[in-house]
Amino acid sequence: MHCLDGANTSVEAGSESRILETTKFVAGSGKISSDPDKDRRRVIIVGIPGVGKSTVVKRAVELLKERNLEPALVNYGSTMMQEATHRHGLKSRDEMRKLPVDLQRSLQIYAAERISLMENKAVIVDTHLFIVTKEGFWPGMPLDVLRALKPTHLVLVAASLEEIKSRRESDTTRARDIATLESLSTEMEAAKSLFFASSLICGCPALIVANPTGQADDAAKKIISSVFSY
């Protein structure tokens, strides 16, 4: 350990400073490694059904393209399906859902590792924090999946409970169970808890973006200004 108060330590201090400038912690690993491309972003965007996540993600991608960043938009479920087809010859998500749980977990990790190897400067992963089942909340990003994904940023899209309820009821493309404000409140609480726990595990920033009705553009701009402000 060096004392930086002495008169003859300026060279050592300068050397240590340069070393620190060229290294960084690898998200979720607790290790230090060199990273020549410190501007690369791997952003996971989540939100419970009805918050308007898909609309915000689409607009964020458009804004990044306007900045010539050419982002890669990845749907995690689709990537899992590709792995299921490649490894097990499956042809539909229904077939994938019928696989034993241990095989589904393996597909989750394979998909995460595949995404983590993408070399695009901007990668946006559209996925779910959890799935509501009869047994309770099933996490969409367990510990091993988060470690394999290696995200640099996490973003949670949110909205008021009344807006979420209204959007779900007006969505005729999905057959969802009737949600009450009380059940939606539980979902949002669960989402925030898992969201901040994921941030702690990965060691990366956690940003919550409000998406009131008609303001998806502002929500997308918030993501861009916060995450992609190089």
pLDDT tens readout for residues 99-144: 887 888 899 999 999 999 998 999 999 998 988 877 788 888 999 9
Span 164-181, average pLDDT: 84
Element (H, E) at 91: none
Q: Which of 149, 138, 152 is nearest to 194 (CA)?
A: 138
pTM, 2 dp: 0.78
- pLDDT band for position 32 (50/70/90)? very low
Q: Encode burial over 29-56: b for 16+ CB neighbours within 10 A, e otherwise.
A: eeeeeeeeeeeebbbbbbbbbbbbbeeb
Per-residue confidence (pLDDT) for residue 157, from 0 to 100: 98
Give the three-state DSSP class for 153. strand
**The pLDDT of residue 70 is above 50:** yes
